């Protein structure tokens, strides 16, 4: 009976040698009989005790899906049989089968129909206060269509070189135009246009600020140094004029070289500061001889965006990558660790349950403490070694044959005893 049980475990291991996240088990032979060493007490046989090998990693197989996850080291994924929004307390299971893919609603589910659980980040990128010794607070990880609000632009910088040879001629040429993209409170992308017109006075330029539709905001005159150590830098600003229609407005600080533009694009107009460089510095605009190179403008803020894809880091953080270039943390996938992983209770679909022998669980962040790391775009295979199983199968077969021979011999001895009575 003991050898038969051992062979059944070997068969079970071989059958699951290609099962993702499967953990090998084997039958360990123990002496059966009296446990009290009294005089005359003898062992009466053998029994097979099933032992699980949950601490040995399987081979990681690379995949093309970023939501496939593999664990290197200690720990298990927390999963549920259904979607958990965090309102209730469904039963949670542990598994190493990380072949997660989005279902029709975007929830991550493996081939066994088990949903991946994680701690959600809020809008500020914080997990808040969480208890890592219980499953409350976990939600099903969802990677679906979602939008992220943009950040309105509040500041711009304008830098670059204006060609000095274009000024001081009787008939100046066309203006040099550059534009800077900015973002509204609703996440829309708009542009401010800066037109630099060379004048017949040497080293002097007239700036006109408009929007993409041609509405004007204001103008000013910028004069550049043509000699000395500050040659090429701004000497002064003058002639500041606002042509904006209220509530739009235009103002300029000639001492700092900073314009304040108020844009009428909402109930509360949007205000943007544009830094062009203070007089006597090379921090912003310059004027040197040479070809015109389009001015460089930078603006803060971001456009509203939609989720384009997801990335999962080694510490289990699920990042949403949006089409506006933003990267935001969505979930933290914890790894459940227990003092004795081999003491976990096993069930179908490569899942485990916390039991008395395993000890209490902790939902640790991957890569911290005893918890292993998570690899995205990979799946952990079974930790079964076919060669090892076949070798053990031969051993158990020989042991079974030897035990069967004892039964045959005992039967012959009994038969001989019966004949003696005759």
CB 193 within 8 A of CB 261: no
Angstrom distance (rounded) from CA 124 to CA 128: 10
3-class secondary structure, 284: coil
Considering 22-26, 377-381, 407-411, the range whose residues carry the highest mean pLDDT is 377-381
| pLDDT in the model for residue 182 | 93
Helix, strand, coil in percent for the chain, rounding step 5: 15, 40, 45
**Confidence class for position 319, pLDDT limits 50, 70, 90:** very high
- Distance linking the first and last C-alpha atoms of the chain: 35
Q: What is the mean pLDDT of residues 146-155?
A: 86
CA atoms within 13 A on the CB side of 99: 16
Token pair belonging to 140: 């099903």
Percent of the chain with pLDDT over 90: 55
Task: Give ranges for CATH 2.60.98.20 in the chain.
Answer: 155-299
Angstrom distance (rounded) from CA 43 to CA 34: 6
Q: What is the mean pLDDT of the chain?
A: 89
Q: Which tops the pLDDT comparison, 84 or 41? A: 84
Q: What is the mean pLDDT of residues 98-123?
A: 92
Q: Is the pLDDT of residue 39 over 80?
A: no
| pLDDT in the model for residue 133 | 92
Angstrom distance (rounded) from CA 64 to CA 48: 42
CB 224 within 8 A of CB 235: yes
- By CB atoms closer than 10 A (0-12, 13-18, 19+), residue 230 is middle
Helix (H) or strand (E) holding 196: strand 189-198
Instruction: Report the 3 state secondary structure along 12-78.
Output: HHHHCCCCCCCCEEEEEEEEEECCCCCCCCCEEEEEEEEEEECCCCCCEEECCCCCCEEEECECEEE
- Give domain 155-299's CATH superfamily: Flagellar hook protein FlgE (2.60.98.20)
Q: Which conformational region is residue 257 in: left (phi greater than 0), alpha (psi within -120 to 50 degrees), or beta?
A: left
Percent of the chain with pLDDT over 70: 96
What are 245-271's pLDDT values in tens digits? 999 999 999 999 999 999 999 899 999
What are 389-403's pLDDT values in tens digits? 898 888 888 888 887
- By CB atoms closer than 10 A (0-12, 13-18, 19+), residue 130 is middle
What are 271-298's pLDDT values in tens digits? 999 999 999 999 899 999 988 878 888 9
């Amino acid at each position: 009976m003991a050898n038969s049980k051992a062979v059944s475990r070997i068969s079970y291991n071989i059958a699951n040698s290609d099962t993702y996240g499967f953990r090998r088990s084997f039958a360990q032979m123990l002496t059966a009989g009296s446990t009290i060493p009294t005089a005359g007490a003898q062992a009466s046989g053998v029994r097979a005790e099933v032992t699980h090998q949950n601490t040995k990693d399987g081979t990681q197989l690379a995949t093309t899906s970023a939501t496939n996850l593999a664990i290197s080291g200690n720990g298990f994924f927390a999963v549920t049989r259904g979607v958990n929004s965090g309102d209730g307390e469904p039963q949670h299971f542990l598994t190493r089968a990380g072949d997660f893919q989005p279902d029709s609603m975007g929830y991550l589910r493996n081939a066994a129909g088990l949903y991946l659980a994680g701690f959600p980040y809020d809008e500020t990128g914080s997990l808040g206060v969480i208890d890592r010794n219980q499953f409350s607070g976990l939600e099903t990880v969802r990677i679906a269509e979602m939008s992220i609000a943009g950040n309105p632009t509040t500041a711009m910088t304008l830098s670059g070189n204006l060609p000095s040879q274009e000024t001081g001629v009787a008939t100046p040429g066309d203006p040099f135009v550059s534009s800077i993209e900015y973002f509204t409170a609703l996440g829309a992308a708009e542009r401010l246009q800066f037109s630099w017109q060379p004048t017949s006075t040497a080293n002097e330029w007239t700036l006109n600020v408009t929007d993409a539709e041609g509405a004007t905001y204001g103008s000013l005159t910028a004069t550049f140094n043509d000699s000395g150590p500050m040659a090429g830098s701004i000497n002064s600003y003058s002639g500041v004029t606002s042509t904006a229609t209220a509530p739009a407005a235009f103002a300029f600080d000639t001492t700092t070289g900073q314009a304040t533009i108020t844009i009428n694009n909402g109930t509360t107009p949007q205000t943007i500061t544009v830094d062009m460089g203070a007089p006597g510095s090379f921090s912003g605009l310059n004027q040197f001889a040479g070809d015109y190179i389009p001015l460089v403008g930078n603006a803060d803020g971001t456009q509203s965006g939609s989720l384009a894809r997801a990335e999962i880091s080694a510490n289990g953080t699920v990042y949403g990558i949006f089409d506006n270039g933003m990267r935001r943390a969505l979930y933290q996938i914890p790894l459940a660790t227990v003092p004795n992983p081999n003491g976990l209770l096993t069930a179908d679909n490569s899942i485990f349950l916390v039991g008395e022998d395993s000890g209490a669980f902790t939902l640790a962040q991957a890569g911290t403490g005893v918890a292993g790391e998570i690899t995205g775009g990979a799946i952990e295979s079974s930790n079964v070694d076919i060669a090892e199983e076949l070798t053990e199968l031969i051993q158990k077969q020989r042991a079974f044959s030897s035990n069967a021979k004892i039964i045959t011999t005992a039967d012959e001895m009994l038969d001989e005893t019966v004949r003696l009575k005759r």
